[in-house]
Structure 1
Amino acid sequence: MHRSSFLTSSRRAGRNALVAVATGTLVLGAAACGSSDSGSGGSGGASGAGGGGGEKVGVSLITKDSTNPFFVAMQKGAKADADKNNVTLTVASGKQEGDDAGQITAIEDAIARGDKGILITPMSNGVNAAMKKARDAGLYVIALDTPPDPADTVDITFATDNRAAGKLDGKWAAGQLAGKPAVIALLDLFNDKIVSVDYNRDQGFLEGMGIDVKDPKKNGDEAKTGKYTGGKGGDYTIVCNEPGNGAEDGGRTAMEKCLSKNPDINLVYTINEPTAVGANAALQAQGKTALIVSVDGGCAGVKSVTDGVIGATAQQYPLKMATLGMEAIAKIARGGDKPKVSPGLDFYNTGVALVTDKKVDGVDSISSADAAKICWGN
C-alpha cells in the first residue's frame, strides 16, 4: 500500500480520529544523503493553523537521513503542506545515521539563507552547538522525534513519548511470556553516541518488562540477570546490547552477534522496524524464532506485524510532527503564538499506539488492520 502523503482531508480526519481512540487522547501528531531540496509554497494558502498568506517564510527540515521510511514520510508530509502555509521549504539530511557533520552543515546553510526556522531530528548531542548558533541568529528551532539533551537546546520538541512507546512494548512482551524465562537481546541505535530516542525506548522497554534500570539515560548498565515483574513475572537474562544503526543490515549483524553469545534468545527488542526485519532474518537463518518488538508503525512495519515477523510495534506519526512544526514556524514568523509543551512533559507529545494482533490483558493496543489505515510510508 503506497502512502506518500495524506491522501485527502477526509481520510486524514479518519486517521486522526482512529489514533485518538487508540491512545485515549486527541493526537495532533501523525512517527534519510547529504543533499538538500528546496520548494516554494504558493501565495494562495489558507491561513489555518499555520497562518498561510503574507510573505513567504523560509523553513529548513533536516532529518537524520533520507532513506529511512520514517524520515522520508516526514519529508513528504512537509513538502505536501508547504503550499498551504506559504512556506519555502528546504529539505536536507545527514548521509546516514551518525552523520553529525552533515546536519551541522545544513544548519549553517539555513542560517546563511535567512530561514525563519529549522525543523530537525537531531543526530546526537554533537549538533547541539549548531542548533544554539541558529537560535542565537534568530531562527526558531524545533526538534522532531528526538528530544535533544538538554531539552532546552531547542525552542520546543514535537515527538512521540519514546519512553511510553518502549513501555508498551515491554508490557506486551512480559504478558506474552506468561511467566516463562526471558532471554533478551537489546538491539539499540548506537553504542558510541548518547541519543534520547535510543535510551528512552530501550530503558522504557525494560521498565515495561518490570526490570529495574539504574541510570534512566544510559543503556546497558542494568543487572544482566534477575527477575522481571511484568505480566506473571519470571527470570530474565540480558544477553546483549548491540547497535544496529537503525538499519536492516545492522539489525541482522547485531542479532548474529547476540546469537553467538547465547543461541537461546527468545525475546528481541529493536529500536525500529528495519532493525527488527534484519534481526528476524538472522533468526531464520539459524532456524530460530523469538518474540520481536519494535517502534515506528510504518506501513512496512505494520505488514510485518500482520505477517507475524514482528509481534508488536509502537506506532508513531512522523507526517504530523513535520507539518505541525512547519505550521508553528510559519505562524510565529507572522506574529502568532508559540506552541506549548504537553502537561507534565518537556516536549509536545504527538501520541503513540501499540500495534499487535495478539492482545494482552491490561495493555491498550490496536490491530494491524486498523494500524494499516493510519500508517505512513510504503
Structure 2
Amino acid sequence: MRHSTLHNRSVRRTLAIALAGSTALALGACNRSSSSDTAGSGGKAAVGVSLITKDSTNPFFVAMQKGAKADAAKNNVKLTVASGKQEGDDQGQITAIENSVARGDKGILITPMSTGVNAAIEKARKAGLFVIALDTPPDPASTVDITFATNNRNAGKLDGQWAAMQMDGKPAVIALLDLFNDKIVSVDYNRDQGFLEGMGIPVNDPKKNGDEAKTGKYTGGKGGDYTIVCNEAGQGAEDGGRSAMEKCLAKNPNINLVYTINEPTAVGADKALKAAGKTALIVSVDGGCAGVGSVKSGVIGATAQQYPLKMATLGMEAIAKIARGGEKPKTTPGLDFFDTGVALVTDKKVTGVDSITSDEGSKICWGN
C-alpha cells in the first residue's frame, strides 16, 4: 500500500511539473501575443537582450541557449548569446556584460559564474538594464533584479535523503566532487551542503564547503557512521570529475558514496571508479536528457532534475514585458528567487523520498 501511495504521488508530481510548465507557457503566450501583435503592426521595436551562460558546451547551457533563441522570436526580442570559454571564466562573462551595455540592450539573462562578476552586473543595472539570473542565484541575491532557478539546497537534500536510505545503516565513505575550490558560487555550496543535510550530517557555515566534521554519525535513513574523504573540484566537466575522483581514491580506495555537482562530473567519476576496479553509489544534479540516461543505465543512482528551458522561457518573457512597461516578476513566497521546480529521478525508489522514474524523467528532461 505504501509503495502504491508513493507511486501515485510521484505521478502527481510529474503531472504537476508538466502543468506548471504549461501554465507558464500559456501565460507567456498571452503576453507574447500582445507584444508580437503590436510589434508586427509597427507599434514597438524589438527588445535587445543578452543571454550569458557559463559556457556553450555543457548540455545544460546548450539547452538553455536553444530555448532562449526560440522564445526570443516569439517575444520579438533581438537576442545576443554569449558565454565564458569554460566554467570559471569570470572575465569572459564580464566582457559579455560590458558588450551588452555598450550595445544598448534592455536586459541581460545570466547564469553568473561567481561573485567575481557581481561588480559588472551592478554597473549594468546602474546603466538601466534589467538583469535576471538563471540557474545560479548570485550571492547576494540582490545583485540581480530577480533569479529564476532550481532550489539547489532542496536538490542536494533529495540526493542526500535518498543516499542515506540506500546506505541502509552501513558506514558511508564519502567523496564530494564540487564545482570550484577557488570561487564562491551559490549553486556549489547549496548542492553540497544540501546533500550533507539530507544525509543527516551537521554542517557548519552553510555557505562554505569542506568545513564540516570529517567523521561522525549520519542520521538519515537508519543512520550510521560516515567518513568524508575529500572535497575536490571537478569544474563541472567530465575530465575534471575523473581527475577529482582519482585524487579521492588515492586518499581512500574504499569510497562507496559519491556526490557530484552535475552529471558530466558524475560520468567522469564513474570512469575513474571503473578504471580502479571500484564501485560506488553516485548521486548528482541536473536531470538532463543524457543524465537521465545515465540513471537508466545505472551509472548514476539518482539525480535531482531541474528545468533550464523553463528558466529561459520565464526570463525572456519577463524582460520583454518589463521593457514594454509591464510589471516586474516576483519571487516565490519565502524565497529570494523564483523556484522553477525540482524532482528526484531514480529507478530505485525509497520510502519517504518522492521521486520519478528515469522513463518519467526522460519525458520532461531540460523542461521539454
Normalised TM-score (structure 1) = 0.89
Deviation at 1:375, TM superposition (A): 1.0
Q: Which has the higher helix share?
A: 2
Q: Is the 8 A contact 1:20 1:27 kept in 2?
A: no
Q: Alpha-carbon deviations, 1:56-113, whole Å to 9, x = none?
A: 1000000000000000001000001111100000000000001000000000000001
1:73 and 1:89 map into 2 onto residues whose CA distance is 15
Tell me if the contact between 1:294 and 1:314 (Cα under 8 Å) persists in the aligned partners.
yes
Uncovered stretches (5+) of structure 1, i.e. residues with no partner: 1-15, 31-44
Matches within 5 A, 1:313-352: 313-352=303-342
* Structure with the larger RCO, 1 or 2 (CA within 8 Å, 6+ apart): 1
1:236 aligns with 2:226: yes
Determine if the alignment matches structure 1 residue 87 to structure 2 residue 77. yes
Q: Which amino acid aligns with 2:312?
A: A
Distance 1:377 1:151, change over 3 A: closer
The answer for the alignment partner of 2:209 in structure 1 is: 219
Partners of 1:192 and 1:50 lie apart in 2 by 46
Output one character per residue of 1:326-366: Cα deviation in whole Å (capped at 9) or x when no partner. 11000001111100000110000000000000001000000
Residue 41 of structure 1 corresponds to: none
- Tell me what 2:130 maps to: 140
* Partner Cα distance (1:350, 1:329) in 2: 17
The answer as to 2:255 corresponding to 1:265 is yes
1:19-51 Cα offsets, whole Å, 9 max, x none, are 45369x945799xxxxxxxxxxxxxx9743884
Q: Count the aligned residue pairs.
A: 348
Q: What are the within-5 Å matches in structure 2 for residues 199-210 of structure 1?
A: 199-210=189-200
| 2:148 pairs with 1:153 | no
Distance change in 2, residues 1:358/1:342 (3 Å): same
Partner of 2:152: 162
The alpha-carbon deviation at position 271 of structure 1 amounts to: 0.1
What SS does the corresponding residue of 2:74 show, helix, strand or coil?
Answer: coil
Tell me what 1:21 maps to.
16
CA distance in 2, matches of 1:377, 1:351: 10
Per-residue Cα deviation, 1:275-311 (whole angstroms, up to 9, x for no partner): 0000000000011110000000111000000000000
C-alpha distance after superposition, 1:143-174 (max 9, x if no partner): 00111111000000000000000000000000
What root-mean-square deviation, in Å, do the aligned CA atoms of Structure 1 and Structure 2 show? 2.0
CA distance in 1 between counterparts of 2:34 and 2:174 reads 45
State the 1:55 CA deviation: 1.6
For 2:253 and 2:87, locate their aligned partners in 1 and report how far apart those are by CA, in whole Å: 29
CA distance in 2, matches of 1:356, 1:47: 36
**Alignment-derived partner of residue 173 in structure 1:** 163
Structure 2 residue 343 is the aligned partner of structure 1 residue 353:
yes
Q: Structure 2: which 5+ residue stretches go unaligned? A: 1-10
Q: Quick one: which amino acid aligns to residue 139 of structure 1?
A: L
Query: CA 1:28/1:149 → structure 2, altered by over 3 Å: closer, same or farther?
Result: farther
Partner in structure 1 of residue 102 of structure 2: 112
Contact 1:297–1:314 (8 Å) recurs in 2: yes
Distance 1:301 1:29 in 2: 26
Distance between the aligned counterparts of 2:17 and 2:197, measured in 1? 22
Counterpart Cα distance in 1 of 2:236 and 2:367:
16
Q: Deviations 1:209-262 (Å, cap 9, x if unpaired)? A: 000000000000000000000000000000000000000000000000000000
Equivalent residues of 1:50, 1:330 under 8 A apart: no
2:196/2:202 contact within 8 Å kept: yes
Query: 2: distance between equivalents of 1:51 and 1:263?
Result: 59
**Cα distance in structure 1, aligned partners of 2:136 and 2:293:** 25
**In the aligned structure 2, how far is the partner of 1:292 from the partner of 1:123?**
25
| Runs of 4+ deviating beyond 4 Å | 27-30
1:121 Cα deviation from its structure 2 partner: 0.3
Contact 2:309 2:367 in 1 (8 A): no
**SS in structure 1 of the partner of residue 216 of structure 2:** strand
Maintained 8 Å contact 1:247/1:274: yes
Which one-letter code corresponds to 1:274 in the other structure?
P
In structure 1, the residue matched to 2:55 is 65
Name the counterpart of 2:280: 290
Paired letter, 2:87: E
d(CA) in 1 for partners of 2:342, 2:66: 20
Amino acid at match of 2:232: E
Q: How far apart are residue 377 of structure 1 and its match? A: 9.8
- 8 A Cα contact 1:175 1:231, kept in partner: yes
CA change 1:195–1:224 in 2 (3 A) is same
Alignment check: 8 A CA contact 1:299 1:377 kept? no
Q: What's the counterpart of residue 289 of structure 2?
A: 299
**Counterpart code for 2:171:** P
Which of residues 272, 282, 300 in structure 2 aligns to 1:310? 300
| CA distance in structure 2 between the partners assigned to 1:29 and 1:92 by the alignment | 29
